[in-house]
Amino acid sequence: DQQVKQNSPSLSVQEGRISILNCDYTNSMFDYFLWYKKYPAEGPTFLISISSIKDKNEDGRFTVFLNKSAKHLSLHIVPSQPGDSAVYFCAASDNNDMRFGAGTRLTVKP
């Protein structure tokens, strides 16, 4: 069962514009949410996270928004840069384990 879903397999944006990556989850027991970034031939690297007690967390160009009632989170990247081109995984954790979405491939065009 897919408890974490990223419905957009790919996203293409122009350099300097905003990238918005979306993620939905079904398990209300998840209390911590993360975004990982993955380049080809490398493992995922942690990007940003948010606790379920918050609705926004910002780190430089990256902001994660959490809507608990809708069981939805999003990652905003502004301004987008060509180096941001990668696969982005959404992950959600409860007390036991972490579940990952299938990923969204972001392409930022110069």
Partner 1 sequence: EAGVVQSPRYKIIEKKQPVAFWCNPISGHNTLYWYRQNLGQGPELLIRYENEEAVDDSQLPKDRFSAERLKGVDSTLKIQPAELGDSAVYLCASSRGARSYEQYFGPGTRLTVT
Chain residues that interact with partner 1, rule: CB under 8 A: 4, 9, 32, 34, 36, 41-46, 49, 89, 91, 93, 95-103
| Residue whose CB is less far from partner 1, 13 or 103 | 103
Here the tokens at position 82 are 């060509």
In the complex, the smallest distance separating the C-beta of residue 58 from partner 1, rounded to whole angstroms, is: 17
| Residue whose CB is less far from partner 1, 78 or 98 | 98
Residue with tokens 């990556």, as numbered in its chain = 21
| Residue whose CB is less far from partner 1, 32 or 62 | 32
Question: Identity (one letter) of the amino acid at 4?
Answer: V
For 68, the enclosing helix (H) or strand (E) is none
In the complex, the smallest distance separating the C-beta of residue 16 from partner 1, rounded to whole angstroms, is: 29
Residues in CB range of 107: below 8 A, 6 or more apart: 10, 11, 12, 13, 85
If you ran DSSP here, which 8-state letter would residue 84 be given? Answer: G
In the complex, the smallest distance separating the C-beta of residue 70 from partner 1, rounded to whole angstroms, is: 21
